[in-house]
Structure 1
Amino acid sequence: MKVFVIDVSRCNGCYGCQLVCKDEHVDNDWTPIAKPQPDTGHFWMKMNQTVHGTVPKVKIEYVPRPCMHCDNPACIRSQDDGAVYKRQDGLVIIDPVKAKGKRDLVAACPYGAIYWNEELAIPQKCTGCAHLVDEGKQPRCADSCATGAIKFGEEEEFKDLIAQAEVMSPELGLKPRVYYVNLPKLFVAGEVYDPAADEILEDAEIILTNVDTGKKYSTKTDDFGDFWFKRLAEGKYSLTVNVVGFKPYEMTELNVSKSINLGSIALNK
Structure 2
Amino acid sequence: MKVFIVDIAKCNGCHNCQISCKDEHVDNDWSPIAKPQPDTGHFWMKLNQTVHGQVPKVNIEYVARPCMHCAEAPCLKVAENGAVHRRNDGLVIIDPEKAKGQRNIMDVCPYGAVYWNDELDLPQKCTGCAHLVDEGREPRCVDSCPTGALLFGEESEFKDLIAQAEVMKPEYGTKPSVYYLNAPKLFVAGEIYDPAIDECLKDVEVTLTNEESGQVYVQKTDRFGDYWFKKLTAGSYSLKVAKAGYKPYEKKGINVTKSLKVEDIAMAK
Fold similarity call, TM over 0.5: yes
* Alignment of 1:128 onto 2:128: yes
Structure 1 residue 160 corresponds to structure 2 residue 163: no
Relative distance call for 1:19 and 1:79 in structure 2 (3 A) is closer
Say whether the 8 Å CA contact 2:79–2:105 is kept in structure 1: no
- Asked if structure 2 preserves the Cα contact closer than 8 Å seen for 1:207 and 1:218, the reply is yes
1:74 is aligned to: 74
Structure-2 residue corresponding to 1:238: 238
Structure-to-structure mapping, 1:5-84, within 5 angstroms? 5-77=5-77, 80-84=80-84
What amino acid is aligned across from residue 4 of structure 1 in structure 2? F
Taking the aligned partners of 1:107 and 1:203, their CA distance within structure 2 comes to 53
Q: Answer whether contact 2:78 2:104 (CA < 8 A) is retained.
A: no
Deviations 1:54-97 (A, max 9, x none): 11100001000000000100111256121111000000000111
**1:263 to partner: Cα distance:** 3.4
Superposed CA RMSD in Å reads: 0.8
Residues 1:204 and 2:204 are matched in the alignment: yes
Taking the aligned partners of 2:113 and 2:102, their CA distance within structure 1 comes to: 15
Q: 1:144 is matched with which residue? A: 144
Given that residues 30 and 36 in structure 2 are in contact (C-alpha distance below 8 angstroms), is that contact kept between their aligned partners in structure 1? Answer: yes
Kindly provide the amino acid, as one letter, of the partner of residue 173 in structure 1: G
- For 1:165 and 1:152, the matched residues in 2 are separated by 14
**Which letter maps to 1:209?**
T
Match of 1:175 in 2: 175
Q: Which residue of 2 aligns with 1:86?
A: 86
Looking at structure 1, the residues matched to 71 and 32 of structure 2 have their Cα atoms a distance apart, in angstroms, of: 21
Q: Give distance in 2, aligned partners of 1:71 and 1:31.
A: 23
Does 1:100 find its partner at 2:133? no
What runs of 5+ residues in structure 2 fail to find an aligned partner? none
Q: 2: CA distance between counterparts of 1:140 and 1:79?
A: 27
User: Per-residue CA shift, 1:198-248, capped at 9, x if unaligned?
Assistant: 111100000000111101001110010000001111111111010111111
Are residues 79 and 23 of structure 1, via their aligned partners in 2, closer, same or farther at CA, if it must alter by over 3 Å? Answer: closer
Q: Contact 1:189–1:263 at 8 Å: present in 2 too?
A: no
The 2-side partners of 1:161 and 1:185 are apart by 19
Distance 1:265 1:107 in 2: 48
Question: Is the 8 Å Cα contact of residues 114 and 125 (structure 1) preserved in structure 2?
Answer: yes
Please name the residue that 1:267 is paired with.
Answer: 267
How many residues matched? 269
Distance 2:184 2:79 in 1: 39
Q: Is the contact between residue 204 and residue 243 of structure 1 (CA under 8 Å) also seen in structure 2?
A: yes
SS at match of 2:4: strand
Letter in 1 for 2:197: A
Q: Which runs of 5+ in 1 are unaligned?
A: none
SS in 2 for 1:31: coil
